Amino acid sequence: MITRPILTLTTAICLGLLASGTAAGQDAFFDEGNQRYQDGDFDGALASYARILEAGLESGDLYYNLGNTYFKRGEIGPAILYYERARRLMPGDDDLLANLDLVRQQTADEITPLPEFWMFRAVRWWVGLLPLTALAWVVALAYLTATTAVILLVLKPGTPVALWARRAAIVAATIALVLGLNLAVRELGIGAPQEAIVMATEADVQSAPSDDSALRIFRVHEGAKVRMGRRSEEWIEIVLEDGTVGWVATQQLEPI
Amino acid sequence: MTFARRLPTRLALAMLGLLCLPASGLAQTARAYLSQNEVGLSQQFVLNVEIAGTQQLDADPTLPDLTAFAAYLGSGTSTSMQMANGRTSVTLTIEYQFQAIAVGTFDIGPITVPASGQTLATEPLTIQVTNARATTRRSGGADGGVAPDDLFITAMPSQDTVYVNQPVTVEYRIFTRVNVDGYNLAQQPTTAGFWAEELAVPQTGVEQIIRDGVQYASSVIRRVALFPTSAGRKTLDPLTIEAQVRVQRRSRGFFDDPFFGRGRSRPIVVASDAVDIDVLTLPAGQPPAFTGLVGQFDISTSIDRTDVNTNDALTFRLEVTGTGNIRTVTTPELGFPTDFEVYPPDVTEQVEPSGEGVRGRKMFEYVVVPRAPGDVSIPPVELAYFNPDTDAYAVATSAPINLRIAGDAIDAPSGPGARRRTSIDAQQDIRFIRIALPTFRPIGASLFRSAWFWTVLLTPLVAMAGAVATRRHQDRLRGDVAYARRRRASRVAKQRLAKAESLRSPEQHRDFHAEIGRALHGFLGDKLNLAEAGLVRDEIRSHLTSRGVANDVIAPYLTCLEDCDRQRFAPTEPDAAAMQEMLTRAGQAMTTLDQALS
């Protein structure tokens, strides 16, 4: 009676391990891409990196390298797109932020972002403080510690072990809760806006979802980051970082 | 130039207009002719326009465009009056001096002369320009009395093969056998590809020189030092002068008497030959400090004091002397310690055009302020140059200077020109890619879809639930008899049934039924926590009914119990099949009761 759930669980774990095991073949592509990048063969590097993506795998470092490669090819739009994708996976990475800053300086539009409420900024800083893997490990360890302590507490009440278990349970549970919330926000993408990068060299921004040139309000250029809003057939409502709103044709954007 | 060319013509025309008033009735003709129909390349020729019977020219004659094959040098005007048969004829001749610059046969179109309200046109001419230089050397023009050999200019380069930046001195001399009142430079030769330094003309005056067996009066008219700026074959354009020559007319007219001829001077344009100079590239093996200096140089440094206090201003002098392109000496690299504040230098240069090339000095005067005490050595300053005399590179080095600086260290103020340690001037480039292998994860993968997550999440929960259950079980066992009995009721009943099964033989049927009865009784007693001994049928029924057990569950149980009691004391032996059926019925009764009670 009890053996059946254990069997299912073991199967699930094995499957999970298998899934991570398939990455071994992609390591070769990653190394190959890096080698080509260092040899200055940026087209080749791009092809190698793309095979990893085609295999349905991603990583912050991979996106970072892709961003670098596109930058070296002089394609600002894709470079920013991949840096932004990398940023979703490793928000606090120093190299990434430095490169993104440098590439942004080369975009045609100078968009001054609206000042952000300090609490939002603080929350974002806190959420992105730890790399995802480290965060997951910390939460898992704290959770396991807390549950183990609770089990000890239940099984051996009134002993000195139970006293320590009680303290450990409180501390570990607090950590698990706080960082677990952090992890949940990150993983579920709570509060993360739907953003996109302008891929077209120049995109007309209309005041309404229509081609009419009379409705054109302004133009954005390759590499500008926009927040995506409502959609209407081929058109999408965008909000620039400075708060300007307008409609652009969907194919001129690439969602992050 | 244009003005200078036109002025004499206009003047002459005006005079003519006055002179020729009586001749107003004469026919006006214009004729053009060349000094020679065949001319060597670079040689000069004269295009004459002769207008007879004019009173006045409304404008200068319009010449066709000759720039394809001829370079304009200058023009002159002469008039002649002739009296024949009591009629005075006036002829105006305008001479245009040209230099042939292209080989071939060329047409000179009609020349139009506006005169007295009419437009006169000349016949077209043809000129042939050949490569033959020697045939007509220096044509002085067809004007009377001045043959090409009478007046010419030579250009003498000091050498015709030099290195880049090595000066070549070109001396222009005028040779004449006719009286020259004076001259002016009509055309400065362009010095493209050279940097020119005019040299003083020696004040030797006019010399008498025998050349080709003929005695000439000669004098230097220009000396120039030319520094070629790049390698290759360079051509210096000819130098052209307009000389005022006193001439006598060819004709034997009354007015040609020397008495009248006096004071009649006419401009003659003469030009030197072009000069070719081969410029060689500097040989390989240039020292690192070489900046293109060619010649012979020396470098020296000096400082006004050697024992100073910090913050005292010192004057540091650096002097480069020598022959060569001294003007191109660049500010040398000084090896001052960084504790020194060095202000930009004051640069002075003195260049004396000497006999051969250019000699001079260039001085750099620095104000330096030591900011830290100590014994400091100012390293020697090096100046690399190429010496064309030895065909080798050389480095001039100054002597090092030792300074003793007393006093306290002073923070350098940020004055203008203050020398600072250079900060790192970072190039703008992206940071390098990641080389270390990352952990890849499926795109769009969420933690909540991974087996690991659920394993880690649920296992402890299950374990915790187990722990809680264990704990409660232990607690009940310890303090609750009813619970303990209930927990073991099924086990005990099973044991008894098993025992009964082993007694399933007709001989032992009493024991068999007794055991089944004990199992049924015991099970109920354990389940309900009652003393087995006191259990009678009615009591059992009321207990079970009060616990909500349905009657159809109670009835088979009680029937089974009754059957057991009856069989225990029955006289006949039951068969094996009946005993097996009994066993099954007891088991079923207990199972249904267990289900009803739980």
**DSSP letters spanning B119-150:** EEEPPPEEEEEES-SSTT-S---SSTT--GGG
Nearest to B149 by CA among B160, B136, B166, B165: B136
What mean pLDDT do residues A16-45 have?
Answer: 77
Q: Which of B432, B435, B437, B440 to mutate to test the interface with A (most CBs of A within 10 A)?
A: B440
For A56, which of B443, B448, B467 is closest by C-beta distance? B443
Q: How confident is the model at residue A172 (pLDDT cuts 50, 70, 90)?
A: very high
* Residue A70 pLDDT: 92
* pLDDT tens, residue by residue, A101-133: 888 888 888 777 777 788 888 888 888 788 778
Put simply, the answer to whether A65 touches B464 (Cβ < 8 Å) is: no
Residue B533 at interface with chain A, using a CB cutoff of 8 Å: no
Complex ipTM, two decimals?
A: 0.70
* Residue A149 pLDDT: 92
Considering only residues A173 and B491, tell me which one the structure prediction assigns the higher pLDDT.
A173
* Residue B289 pLDDT: 76
For B428, which of A16, A23, A102 is closest by C-beta distance? A102
Put simply, the answer to whether B471 touches A151 (Cβ < 8 Å) is: no
Q: Does residue A188 carry a pLDDT above 50?
A: yes
Residues of B in contact with A19 (CB under 8 A): 442, 450
Residue A199 vs residues A85, A184, A232, B165: alpha-carbon distances, Å: 14, 31, 19, 56
For B455, which of A12, A64, A148 is closest by C-beta distance? A12
* Residue B3 pLDDT: 40
For A155, which of B428, B437, B470 is closest by C-beta distance? B470
Residues of A in contact with B475 (CB under 8 A): none
Pairing mode, strands A253-255 and A202-206:
unpaired
Residues of B in contact with A151 (CB under 8 A): 460, 463-464, 467
Q: Which of B427, B428, B434 to mutate to test the interface with A (most CBs of A within 10 A)?
A: B434
Nearest to A211 by CA among A252, A253, A254, A247: A247
Residues of B in contact with A98 (CB under 8 A): 430-431
Give mean pLDDT in consecutive 10-residue pieces for chain B, a chain of 598 residues: 44 46 58 82 81 74 81 77 73 82 84 80 84 47 58 84 85 83 73 78 76 82 84 82 69 48 66 84 81 86 85 87 83 77 84 72 87 83 86 86 80 48 59 85 76 87 92 82 81 86 80 85 83 75 84 85 82 79 87 82
For B464, which of A26, A59, A147 is closest by C-beta distance? A147
Residues of A in contact with B434 (CB under 8 A): 34, 61, 64-65, 95
This prediction's pTM: 0.39
Residues of B in contact with A102 (CB under 8 A): 428-430
Put simply, the answer to whether A71 touches B430 (Cβ < 8 Å) is: yes
Count Cβ–Cβ pairs < 8 Å, chain A vs chain B: 108
For B430, which of A53, A99, A157 is closest by C-beta distance? A99
Distance from CA of A224 to the nearest CA of B (A): 19
* CB-count burial class (<10 Å; 0-12, 13-18, 19+) for B434: buried
Nearest residue on chain B to A176, alpha-carbon basis: B457
Distance from CA of B519 to the nearest CA of A (A): 27
Residues of A in contact with B455 (CB under 8 A): 9, 12-13, 16
Nearest residue on chain B to A145, alpha-carbon basis: B460
Residue B454 at interface with chain A, using a CB cutoff of 8 Å: yes
Q: What type of residue sits at position B546?
A: S
For B433, which of A16, A56, A65 is closest by C-beta distance? A65
Put simply, the answer to whether A68 touches B467 (Cβ < 8 Å) is: no
Match 């044709």 to its residue by tokens: A249
Put simply, the answer to whether B438 touches A61 (Cβ < 8 Å) is: yes
Dihedral Cα A139, A145, A147, A153, nearest 10 deg: -150
Look up residue B57 and give its DSSP letter. Answer: B
Q: Which of A48, A57, A105 to mutate to test the interface with B (most CBs of B within 10 A)?
A: A57
For B438, which of A59, A99, A103 is closest by C-beta distance? A59
Put simply, the answer to whether B434 touches A61 (Cβ < 8 Å) is: yes
Nearest residue on chain B to A57, alpha-carbon basis: B442
Q: How confident is the model at residue A64 (pLDDT cuts 50, 70, 90)?
A: very high
Match 């606090």 to its residue by tokens: A92
Put simply, the answer to whether A62 touches B467 (Cβ < 8 Å) is: no
Long-range pairs, B409-417, Cβ under 8 A, ≥24: B409/B310, B409/B339, B409/B371, B409/B372, B409/B373, B410/B310, B410/B311, B410/B371, B410/B372, B411/B371, B412/B341, B412/B371, B415/B341, B415/B343, B416/B343, B417/B341, B417/B342, B417/B343, B417/B344
Residues of B in contact with A68 (CB under 8 A): 430-433
Put simply, the answer to whether A103 touches B430 (Cβ < 8 Å) is: yes
Put simply, the answer to whether B455 touches A16 (Cβ < 8 Å) is: yes
> Helices H, strands E: what count in chain A?
9, 8
Residue A66 vs residues A82, B413, B597: alpha-carbon distances, Å: 6, 48, 69
Instruction: List Cβ neighbours of B480 (8 Å cut-off, separation of 6 or more).
Output: none
For residue B222, what are its two tokens?
């220009």
Per-residue H/E/C for B372-417 = CCEEEEECCCEEEEEECCCCEEEEEECCCEEEEEECCCCCCCCCCC
CB B244 within 8 A of CB B182: yes
Residue B423 at interface with chain A, using a CB cutoff of 8 Å: no
* pLDDT tens, residue by residue, A200-239: 888 888 888 888 888 888 888 888 889 888 888 889 999 9
* Residue B159 pLDDT: 83
Distance from CA of A139 to the nearest CA of B (A): 10
B residues 467-486 closer than 8 Å to A (CB): 467-468, 470-471
Nearest to B297 by CA among B195, B355, B379, B381: B381
* φ, ψ at B43 (rounded to 5°): -90, 170
Per the document, the length of chain A is 256
Residue B452 at interface with chain A, using a CB cutoff of 8 Å: yes
For B439, which of A15, A103, A133 is closest by C-beta distance? A133
Put simply, the answer to whether B451 touches A13 (Cβ < 8 Å) is: yes
Put simply, the answer to whether B440 touches A59 (Cβ < 8 Å) is: yes
Dihedral Cα B421, B424, B425, B429, nearest 10 deg: 180
For A144, which of B448, B456, B467 is closest by C-beta distance? B456
Instruction: List Cβ neighbours of B118 (8 Å cut-off, separation of 6 or more).
Output: B28
Instruction: List Cβ neighbours of A101 (8 Å cut-off, separation of 6 or more).
Output: none
